[in-house]
């Protein structure tokens, strides 16, 4: 029986559903692809991002809801929905977005063809093009294909997660019986095959489908359809029972390959025969089947974005080194000397990650006066310069400790490999605390100097990843403040050793301190009534207790402005509940990832408080992760944060606003402020 959707139009309620709020975020991503003012290939890229986001959503969030239904869990979310009701509403919204992306891609394909970039169907090709692609098939693709029959002697094959397949129905002329086979489309050659003129592309599965008589000689092909399977990919490690966390994660990664199917995508022209066969063999329901009018695996559109057409993309931005540059012939800037002069606030990707954070760790690794380096590693790039620096430091005799988060979703295998390489180099590797993910972005460098041992710190909002640092907006604080150094030393000691009831001065770690500290700061503003002001910038806001605290502050008259990129379960602008709360979201060429928390009256002493760090206001960040916020106390850096928040709040080009009914709308055009461009100009002007 299909559950009835919840009608929130008459009584909005206090909370917006977490899953539907995330889908609204992905809808805003899709709106970038639909926006004719966005450069053409950037629009294609946003289609790819929308699709990749949706893949992860099904692998984790939808999979979790299905587990709840299977386990007969009867609880409801803060907004009153059961798991079954959420799945029903998710299906409706995903269907609507699929319709939008199909219409959008139709227009984009036409526009690309006008500019000389064509996605062609096999049926549209001339003889010369077919001859060329047939040669590509014979020479490169055919040798790696493995057709898999399905009959009494050949059980239905395992279908790997997110792989693209062809389902083939055929008639055997010898007996007139119908046969079925599955053919995995190899990812080795990319999603598109390029014709010799280098601006026309053909989906690889269409080339394979055209050559099926070669793969099934003597058979009569009656139907060919592309399909794609999505499996539950959440990691379930019982850390309380595991004797060796690394080994336990490796075992679970192997098991994950065979987790249950949560979605089947198939071309819309599929026959009932193939559809029903796949439903039965994959053990799924009809509501798990998505018949789509577009190519499958739209994340592959990244390949088209990589076409060398700068005229169809945003102008390339070259990050700026914000630090003083030495004169010609001088030695490179001594970062330690510069940090001793005063704290540095970094704003990526406008400020170069390579010239600042990466350079900081490189100098530490190569400085003979550095005694120790400690760092938390959540996600890093494939060929990480930072990890190479840590290995070099350990090999040169420095004490190096790295807390590696093995359970960073979809980066587990990469982090296991890094952990092993670090250990082989003599690095002390720890995996954090049982039951908690280490999500903090922190680095501590201990250096012996003429006046004694000094600690240098980096605390950021983003990962130590040189690739994402080019496209994620993040903040980082470089400081030699002795009190921050003591705090960070205590945090690392608690991660690699044991410790409870630690008192911190400037650092606010989760889970022990973050929730009570933020609640206290919110309530202090509420005590000031209309003189209170709160500005928060984060990725997501979903924690019920935090939402209720903000409602209470609003009812006390506090002016509250929230900049939330993705999920927001708070309902703003409701009379008597959240009148003074405004929520906006910025979606543009860079992914908004920085977290800033501002309280006009701070700890109740009339002085404002500013924090930056790794934590969003989600239950997982507050309860189940090691996070770290740091107080920004330098007056100049506070003014920089004020300016950043001001630009984010003035933006009327990238910004959307959340309405009381839970829907988002673009902010009305006004002064023409575009935050990403404004920050680029600020960085370029020095």
Catalytic residues: 439
Sign of the Cα pseudo-torsion (82, 85, 86, 87, in order): positive
Q: What is the number of other CB atoms lying within 10 angstroms of the CB of residue 282?
A: 18
Beta bridge partners of 401: 374, 428
Beta bridge partners of 641: none
The values of phi and psi at residue 474, to 5°, are: -145, 160
Q: How far is CA 493 from CA 19, 223, 445, 627, 629, in A?
A: 37, 63, 14, 15, 17
Find, among 566, 589, 584, 555, the residue nearest to 676 by Cα: 589
Task: Give yes or no for a contact between 266 and 241, defined as CB atoms under 8 angstroms apart.
Answer: no
Strands lying side by side in the sheet with 200-203: 118-119, 200-203, 192-194
The Cα 593–Cα 537 span in angstroms is: 9
Find, among 660, 670, 571, 585, the residue nearest to 32 by Cα: 585
- Alpha helices, H only, 324-480: 335-341, 359-366, 385-395, 412-424
Find, among 652, 681, 534, 680, the residue nearest to 586 by Cα: 652
Find, among 215, 186, 192, the residue nearest to 204 by Cα: 192
Beta bridge partners of 617: 541
Find, among 358, 412, 434, 416, the residue nearest to 390 by Cα: 358
Containing 134, the helix (H) or strand (E) segment is: helix 127-136
């Amino acid at each position: 029986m299909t559950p009835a959707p919840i009608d929130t139009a008459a009584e909005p309620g206090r909370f917006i559903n977490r899953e539907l709020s995330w889908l609204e975020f992905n809808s805003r991503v899709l709106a970038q692809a639909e926006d004719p003012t966005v450069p053409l290939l950037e629009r294609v890229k946003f289609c790819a991002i929308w699709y990749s986001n949706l893949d992860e959503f099904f692998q984790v969030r939808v999979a979790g809801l299905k587990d709840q239904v299977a386990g007969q869990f009867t609880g409801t979310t803060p907004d009153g929905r059961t798991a079954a009701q959420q799945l029903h509403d998710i299906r409706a919204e995903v269907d609507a977005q699929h319709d939008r992306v199909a219409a959008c891609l139709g227009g984009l394909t036409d526009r690309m063809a006008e500019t000389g970039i064509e996605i062609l169907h096999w049926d549209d090709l001339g003889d010369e093009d077919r001859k060329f692609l047939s040669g590509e098939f014979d020479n490169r693709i055919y040798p790696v294909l493995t057709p898999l029959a399905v009959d009494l002697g050949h059980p239905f094959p395992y279908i790997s997660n997110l792989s693209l397949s062809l389902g083939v129905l055929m008639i055997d002329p010898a007996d007139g019986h119908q046969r079925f086979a599955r053919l995995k489309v190899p990812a080795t050659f990319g999603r598109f095959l390029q014709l010799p003129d280098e601006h026309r592309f053909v989906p690889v599965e269409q080339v394979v489908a055209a050559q099926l008589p070669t793969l099934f000689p003597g058979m009569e092909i009656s139907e060919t359809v592309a399909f794609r399977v999505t499996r539950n990919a959440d990691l379930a490690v019982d850390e309380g029972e595991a004797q060796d966390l690394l080994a336990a994660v490796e075992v679970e990664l192997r098991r994950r390959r065979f987790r249950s199917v949560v979605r089947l995508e198939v071309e819309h022209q599929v026959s009932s025969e193939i559809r029903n066969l796949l439903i039965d063999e994959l053990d799924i329901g009809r509501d798990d089947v998505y018949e789509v009018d577009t190519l499958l695996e739209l994340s592959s559109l990244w390949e088209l974005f990589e076409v060398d057409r700068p005229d169809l993309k945003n102008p390339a931005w070259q990050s700026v080194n914000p630090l003083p540059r030495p004169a010609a012939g001088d030695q490179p800037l001594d970062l330690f000397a510069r940090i001793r002069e005063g704290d540095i606030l970094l704003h990526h990707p406008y400020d170069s990650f390579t010239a600042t954070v990466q350079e900081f760790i490189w100098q530490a690794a190569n400085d003979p006066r550095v005694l120790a380096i400690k760092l938390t590693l959540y996600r890093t790039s494939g060929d990480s310069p930072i990890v190479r620096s840590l290995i070099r430091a350990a090999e040169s005799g420095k004490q190096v400790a790295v807390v590696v988060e093995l359970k960073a979703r979809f980066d587990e295998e990469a982090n296991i490999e890094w952990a092993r390489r670090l250990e082989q180099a003599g690095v002390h590797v720890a995996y954090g605390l049982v039951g908690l993910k280490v999500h903090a972005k922190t680095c501590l460098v201990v250096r012996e100097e003429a006046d004694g041992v000094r600690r240098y710190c980096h605390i950021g909002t983003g990962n130590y990843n040189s690739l994402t640092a080019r496209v994620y907006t993040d903040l980082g604080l470089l400081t030699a403040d002795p009190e921050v150094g003591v705090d960070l030393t205590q945090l690392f000691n608690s991660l690699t050793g044991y410790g409870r009831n630690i008192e911190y001065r400037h650092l606010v770690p989760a889970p022990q301190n973050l929730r009570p500290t933020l609640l206290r700061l919110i309530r202090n503003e509420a005590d000031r009534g209309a003189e209170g002001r709160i500005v928060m910038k984060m990725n997501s806001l979903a924690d019920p207790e935090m939402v209720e605290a903000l409602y209470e502050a609003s009812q006390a008259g506090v002016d509250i402005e929230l900049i939330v990129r993705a999920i927001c379960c708070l309902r703003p602008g409701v009379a008597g509940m959240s009148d003074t709360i405004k929520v906006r979201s910025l979606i543009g060429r860079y992914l908004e990832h920085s977290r800033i928390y501002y309280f006009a009256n701070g700890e109740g002493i009339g002085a404002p408080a500013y924090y930056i760090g790794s934590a969003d206001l989600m239950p997982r960040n507050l309860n189940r992760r090691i996070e770290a916020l740091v107080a920004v106390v330098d007056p100049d850096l506070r003014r920089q944060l004020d300016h950043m928040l001001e630009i984010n709040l003035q933006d009327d080009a990238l910004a959307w606003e959340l309405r009381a009914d839970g829907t988002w709308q673009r902010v009305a055009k006004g002064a023409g402020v575009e935050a990403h461009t404004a920050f680029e100009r600020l960085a370029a002007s020095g």
